Amino acid sequence: MSTLLEVSGVSVTFDGFRAINNLSFQIGNAELRAVIGPNGAGKTTFMDIVTGKTRPDEGRVIWGEKSVSLLRMSEATIAQAGIGRKFQKPTVFEDQSVQENLLMALKNKRGWLGVLFYRPSKGDLEKVEELAAEIGLKDELTRKSGELSHGQKQWLEIGMLLAQEPRLLLVDEPAAGMTPQEREHTTDILVQAAKTRAVVVVEHDMEFVRRLNCKVTVLHEGSVLAEGSLDHVTSNQDVIDVYLGR
Amino acid sequence: MERSFVAKNPSVLVFLAILSLFTLGVTVLSEGFGIGVISTSFVKTLGKTLCLCLIAVAMDLVWGFTGILSLGHFAFFGLGGYMIGMWLMYERTRLIVVESLSQAEIPPTSSEVVDAIGTQIFGVVGSSEFPLIWAFSDSLFLQLVLVVLVPGLLALIFGWLAFRSRVTGVYLSILTQAMTLALALYLFQNDSGLRGNNGLSGLQNLPGVTVSQDVVSIWFLWASALALGLGYLLAAWVVSGKFGSVIRGIRDNEARVRFLGYSVEVYKLAVFTLTACIAAIAGALYYPQAGIINPEEMAPIASIYLAVWVAIGGRGRLYGAVIGAAFVSLLSTWFTGGQAPDIPLGFYTIKWVDWWQVLLGVSFVLVTLFAPQGIGGLFDLWTNRRAPQRHGAALGPDESALREKEATE
C-alpha cells in the first residue's frame, strides 16, 4: 500500500508550549485510522498542520504520489489537492439550504470566474440528491440547514466532505452529540468512505473507535505514544498510564 | 429544480417595475417633459437619490452579502465623480475659450487654447499648467473608461494588500476609513492637481448642450434609473448562484469556506473591486447632478452614512439597501433643508437642522438592537422568509444535554 500522507518530525510551539513534538504519521491510499489521545495531546493541532491552518516550526508534510510538500500551500489549495476536513462543532452554512451547502462543496471549479458563471448541471443536481440520500437528508434539500437537528448537521457536514471527493478525510469527533442509532449510521458512512480513500478519525469515545475496527494511533503530549490495533494499544502499559488508567 | 433567474428572484421584477413607474411618474410631473408639478431642483434630488441607491446596492453586496464592512466606498464614489468632472470642466472651458478667442484677429493656435483653458481652470489654485492626471481630460471616451478604471485599480491594490494579510473585521473597517481620509486629505492640497478644496464645479452644464436644466435633469434621472436598474440586476445575478453561496459563506464562516477549497481572499477581492466600480459609476452620475464635487465628499463620515443607510434598510437583501438609502437620504434632505417644523419646548426649541443627526444616530442604534433586519424585514411579514429556526440545537454543551426538539416534544 502506497503512502498518501507522510508527516515526519513535525514540531509546533505556541508561546513556549510544545503542542506537537517530533510527530511522525503515515497513512495509505485507502485506509481508516483512528487517532485517540487525552485532551491537549495535539489531535486538533495535528489536523491544523495537515490542512495548512498552522505552520509547523520544523518537519515535513509530504502529500500524494508526486510527494509535494503541503507546508507552502494555502488552506484552499490544500483542500483542492484533496484533503477534506470536518470540524468538531458542526459548521454548515446555516443561512443556506441543504442543497446550496452540498452544491458549494461538490467537486467543481473553485475559481471565482468559474463559480460566477456556474449553473448546476443535471448531473450535479443528481449527485447532490444521491449524497443527500446517503446522509438521510433527501427530504430536507430545500430546508435551511440552520433548521436541522444537531445530528443532521453533523451528517450534512459529512455529506459536504464526501461531495468534495477528497482523497484524505480528516474527521474530528464525528459522533459527538449523536444518538446511538445516528452513531451507527455514521460508522457505516465512514467505513464505506474508507474503502476508496484515506480517512482519519479523531475520537474520544472508545466504543465508537472499537466499532470502526481499524488501526489506532495514540497521541500523547504531541507525539505518537503507540500505534496498532485497538486491542494492541489498549494493552500497552504507557497508554494505560496516560490515558485509559485515568 | 432548476428554474429561471426571474422565477427564483421575483423581487427583481417587482423592483424594476417600481423603478420604471417611478421614473415615468417623475418625468410626467417634471418641468422639462411634463406638467411641471415637480421642480427641477427636486428632480435633481431624486436623480441623486437614485445614485445613492446604487452605491447602497454596492455596499450591500460587499457588507451585507460578503461581510466586509467597508467604510471607504465613498472614496470610489468621489473618484468616479472626479473622473467625469474633469472632462465636463475641460470641455466646457474649452468651448468658452474658443468662443472668446475667436473674436481675436489672429486665430489662436491649439497650444494657446490649451494654455487659456489651463489658466481658466487652475487660476483658482494659482497655477496654469495642466497636471499629468489631466492628460486624457480632452477625451470623453477615455475619461469614461477612467471612471471605472481608476477606482477599480485603487480597490484592487488596496484590497489585495488588505485581504492578503488577512485583515478582517473592525481592523479592515478602520483601514478603509484611513484610505478614504488619506485620499480626501491629499485632494485637499492645491497641488494635487484637482483644484484642492475648490474641487470641480459647474458640472451641471453639459458642454455643447443648449437645452435648459429642466430637460438635462430629466436626462440624468433616466440615466441614473437605468444605472440603478442594471446595477440591481447585476448584483441580484451575482448573489443568486453559487458565487452568492460562497460569498455568504465567507460572511458567515470564512475558515470553513477556505477548507472547502475556495480561495477566500480572491473572492473578497473580486467583490470589493466590483463594488468599487459600481460605486464609481454611481458617483459619475451623481456629481453632474450635484454640479460640484470637492474632497469633502470623500470624508470618512460619508462612507459611515452609507453603512447606516444599508443597516436601516436591511442588509443582506438588495431591496433593503435601496429602501434604506432612498428613505434616509430623502428624510435627511427634508430635515436639513429646514422644511421640518421646529418643536418649541418652551425652554428650548428643537431645530431639526441641528438635531437630525442625533435622531439618525438614535434610530441607527435602535434598528441595530431591535430590528436587525431593518426596514426590509417588514417584507418578511408578507413572505414567510424567516431566520433559521434552530430546532434540535443542543440546550447545553454536554453530549447528554437535551436538544430543543426533544424538550418541546
Give the one of B253, B267, B392 whose C-beta lies nearest to A149's C-beta: B392
Distance from CA of A13 to the nearest CA of B (A): 22
A174 Cβ contact partners less than 8 Å away, ≥ 6 residues apart: A86, A154, A158, A186, A190, A201, A203
Are B245 and A110 within 8 A, CB to CB?
no
Over pLDDT 90: what percentage of chain A? 18
Question: Which three three-digit cell numbers place residue B154?
Answer: 485603487
Give the one of A76, A99, A164 whose C-beta lies nearest to B263's C-beta: A76
Give the other-Cβ count within 10 Å of A51's Cβ: 21
Residue B389: per-residue pLDDT: 52
Residue B393: per-residue pLDDT: 54
Helix (H, G, I), strand (E, B) or coil at A127: helix
Distance from CA of B392 to the nearest CA of A (A): 4
Tell me whether B407 touches chain A (CB under 8 Å).
no
Residue B177: per-residue pLDDT: 96
**Which residue from B219, B209, B216, B195 is spatially nearest to B95, judged by alpha carbons?**
B209
Residue B371: per-residue pLDDT: 83
- Nearest residue of A to residue B240, measured between CA atoms: A116
- Nearest residue of A to residue B266, measured between CA atoms: A112
Q: Which of A113, A148, A150 to mutate to test the interface with B (most CBs of B within 10 A)?
A: A150
Distance from CA of A93 to the nearest CA of B (A): 6
- Nearest residue of B to residue A101, measured between CA atoms: B245
Give me the domains of chain A, ranges plus CATH numbers. Answer: 3-244 (3.40.50.300)
pLDDT mean over A194-215? 88
Count the helix, strand and coil residues of chain B and give each as a percent rounded to the nearest 5. 70, 5, 25
The DSSP code sequence of B72-126 is: -HHHHHHHHHHHHHHHHHHHHHHHHHHHHHTTSSSPPPHHHHHHHHHHHHHGGGT
Taking the CA atoms of B48, B51, B56 and B57 in sequence, report the sign of the dihedral they define. Answer: positive
Tell me whether B1 touches chain A (CB under 8 Å).
yes
Distance from CA of A157 to the nearest CA of B (A): 11
Tell me whether B256 touches chain A (CB under 8 Å).
yes
Distance from CA of B399 to the nearest CA of A (A): 5
Put simply, the chain B residues between 264 and 283 with a CB less than 8 A from any chain A CB are 264, 266-267, 270
Are B403 and A149 within 8 A, CB to CB?
yes
* Axis crossing angle, helix B300-313 with helix B40-59, rounded to the nearest 10: 80
Tell me whether B249 touches chain A (CB under 8 Å).
yes
pLDDT mean over A138-166? 87
Are B261 and A164 within 8 A, CB to CB?
yes
* pLDDT tens by residue, A9-34: 899 988 888 888 888 898 988 889 99
- Nearest residue of A to residue B396, measured between CA atoms: A177
* Chain B CB contacts of A160 below 8 Å: 260
Residue B384: per-residue pLDDT: 59
Are A93 and B253 within 8 A, CB to CB?
yes
Are A145 and B399 within 8 A, CB to CB?
no
> Is A93 exposed, middle or buried (CB count within 10 Å of its CB: 0-12, 13-18, 19+)?
buried
Q: What string of pLDDT tens digits covers the 409 residues of chain B?
A: 446 777 777 889 999 999 999 999 999 999 888 888 899 999 999 999 999 999 999 999 999 999 999 999 999 999 999 999 999 999 999 999 998 888 888 888 888 888 899 998 998 888 888 888 999 999 999 999 999 999 999 999 999 999 999 998 899 999 999 999 999 999 999 888 899 999 999 999 999 888 889 999 999 999 999 999 999 999 999 998 899 999 999 998 888 899 999 999 999 999 999 999 999 999 999 999 999 999 999 999 999 999 999 999 988 889 999 999 999 999 988 888 877 788 888 888 888 888 888 888 898 898 888 888 888 888 877 765 555 555 555 444 544 444 554 444 3
Are A76 and B242 within 8 A, CB to CB?
no
Residue B408: per-residue pLDDT: 41
Give the one of A74, A93, A99 whose C-beta lies nearest to B248's C-beta: A93
**Distance of alpha carbon B266 from alpha carbon A75, whole angstroms:** 13
* Chain A CB contacts of B248 below 8 Å: 93, 95-96
Distance from CA of A142 to the nearest CA of B (A): 10
Q: Which of B259, B265, B271, B402 to mutate to test the interface with A (most CBs of A within 10 A)?
A: B259
Q: How many CB pairs under 8 A join A and B?
A: 104
* Local confidence band at A239 (pLDDT 50, 70, 90 cut-offs): confident
Are B262 and A76 within 8 A, CB to CB?
yes
Distance from CA of A70 to the nearest CA of B (A): 14
Are A110 and B262 within 8 A, CB to CB?
yes
A12 Cβ contact partners less than 8 Å away, ≥ 6 residues apart: A18, A19, A20, A45, A49, A54, A56, A57, A222
Half-sphere exposure of A197 (CA within 13 A, CB side): 19
* Chain A CB contacts of B238 below 8 Å: 116
pTM, full prediction = 0.89
Are B261 and A100 within 8 A, CB to CB?
no
* Local confidence band at A231 (pLDDT 50, 70, 90 cut-offs): confident
Supply the DSSP symbol for A214.
S
Secondary element (H or E) of residue B12:
helix B10-29
